[in-house]
Structure 1
Amino acid sequence: MKRIALIALAALALTLGACSKLTVENYDKLKMGMTYNEVKQLLGAPDKCSDLLAVKSCTWGNDARYVQVNFVADQVVLFNSANLR
């Protein structure tokens, strides 16, 4: 019984890990000029966003592993990442 539970838990962990949209492949698809909605389609909903003057800065992920994208007039002007797999 414990073995079945361990196998199920391992399968769930692999499934959840595979669902992450924070990948090098998706980061490489980001392009200057993309709209907020296009980036949201690619990476999912951001974990946090802030607006400062005309710049909207959104982050997907956490302090250890993230993609950060800056938008001006709803278009990507700058993006960077850390620790993507």
Structure 2
Amino acid sequence: MSLRNLALLSVCVLLAACSKVNQDNYAKLKAGMPKAEVESLLGSPTECSGAIGITSCNWGDEKVFISVQYAGDKVMMFSGQGLK
């Protein structure tokens, strides 16, 4: 394995280990929290969708994720799966 490939592999492993989608950050979520504060905690969402003032945003993938539902720009409810 070349030094370049080894360096790239190391960076990928470190990025995966530093995911903000984890149990510690999930425990910090609270109903009524502003959307900007959630994004400060979790980073930019993977995807968002919504209608009529209700927005749902997800962080992570189909196995490990945090999902937050907003009314306006305040957390209404949230859920998570596969968090460590």
- When normalised by structure 1's length, the TM-score is 0.84
**2:13 paired with 1:25:** no
1:59 alignment counterpart = 58
CA distance in structure 1 between the partners assigned to 2:5 and 2:57 by the alignment: 37
Q: Secondary structure at the match of 1:59?
A: strand
Q: Secondary structure at the match of 1:76?
A: strand
CA RMSD of aligned residues (A): 1.8
Q: What amino acid sits opposite 2:17 in the alignment?
A: A
Larger mean CA deviation between 4-13 and 34-43 belongs to: 4-13
2:44 alignment counterpart = 45
The alignment of Structure 1 onto Structure 2 pairs a total of residues equal to: 84
Larger mean CA deviation between 5-14 and 20-29 belongs to: 5-14
Query: Percent same amino acid among aligned pairs?
Result: 37
Segments of 5+ residues of structure 2 without an aligned counterpart are: none
CA distance in structure 2 between the partners assigned to 1:62 and 1:82 by the alignment: 10
CA distance in structure 2 between the partners assigned to 1:48 and 1:6 by the alignment: 30
